[in-house]
Amino acid sequence: MIAVMRILIVEDEPKTGDYLRQGLQEAGFGVELAHTGPDGLHLALTENPDLIILDVMLPGLDGWQVLQTLRNASKNMAVLFLTARDQVDDRVRGLELGADDYLVKPFAFSELLARVRTLLRRGKTREAENQLNLLHAADLELDLLSRRASRGGQRIDLTAKEFALLELFLRRQGEVLPRSLIASQVWDMNFDSDTNVIEVAVRRLRAKMDDEFEPRLIRTVRGMGYVLEAPAAP
């Protein structure tokens, strides 16, 4: 089943809001409509739409305040400002606050629809790119772009070598990794059986991301190496 993209319209003019809702629904989108800033903000925070069409002049909270609150809350859905304010300073302000596009009233619905589709395609591409940079196992997450690790929502501070070691485990989870492979991939050295650098590094990594969590993910395979395994979902 193809997921329906969801759009939130925040528009205080009832005729304009109804017109937009009908047109976008006929174009195949799921649409919600709010007529005030506070109502629009509430729906945006709780429903997480794929895109918001946001008027600037709204009762309760104006569009600037709604957008700024969303971005401060790390809500990154696409936002298209739709407003009668056509001053350059207004457009610049909206873009600086984090809007993705700006369309001035009066407008042609065909142009608005084209912009909506462009923003949604861009959002899909960005989401796919973000997913490529996230590695998971159970509730463990490694973000390769921000260089952050977390487990159960709790941030884990890692050294550069610990990060590289965990990345190797996650990329090859389920595989038993010999010490020689770990040494060459993480330390760029040939394995020397007289050194315990790998055992020490694995022990420190476990202490940070395994010892205080369940289930434990890294286990030792005696005589062979180490493996990171996430248990199958029940």
Enumerate domains of the chain plus CATH numbers: 6-132 (3.40.50.2300), 134-228 (1.10.10.10)
Contact 49, 6 (CB under 8 A): yes
Nearest to 10 by CA among 1, 2, 21: 21
Query: Is the model's pLDDT at 225 over the cut of 70?
Result: yes
Question: How many CB atoms are located within 10 Å of the residue 151 CB?
Answer: 19
Asked if residue 184 has pLDDT above 60, the reply is yes
Q: Which two tokens stand for residue 46?
A: 């709780």
Whole-number average pLDDT of the chain: 87
pLDDT of residue 191: 59
From the list 73, 77, 94, the residue with the least C-alpha distance to 85 is 94
Which position has the token pair 């055992």? 199
* Residue 7 CA from chain centroid, whole number: 18
Name the residue among 143, 137, 147, 150 with its Cα closest to residue 230: 137
DSSP state, residue 171? H
Q: Is residue 29 scored above 50 in pLDDT?
A: yes
Lowest mean pLDDT among 5-14, 59-68, 83-92, 177-186: 83-92
- Tell me the per-residue pLDDT of 129-149, one tens digit each, with 9 for 90 and over: 555 678 889 899 988 878 889
pTM (predicted TM-score) = 0.57
Supply the pLDDT for residue 140.
92
**What values do phi and psi take at 19, rounded to 5?**
-60, -45
What is the token pair recorded at 143? 């973000």
Rounded to a whole number of angstroms, the distance between the first and last alpha carbons of the chain is 24
Q: Which residue has the higher pLDDT, 35 or 107?
A: 35
Question: For 83-110, what is each residue's pLDDT tens digit?
Answer: 877 677 777 777 788 888 988 888 899 9
If one compares 13 and 88, the residue with the highest pLDDT of the two is 13
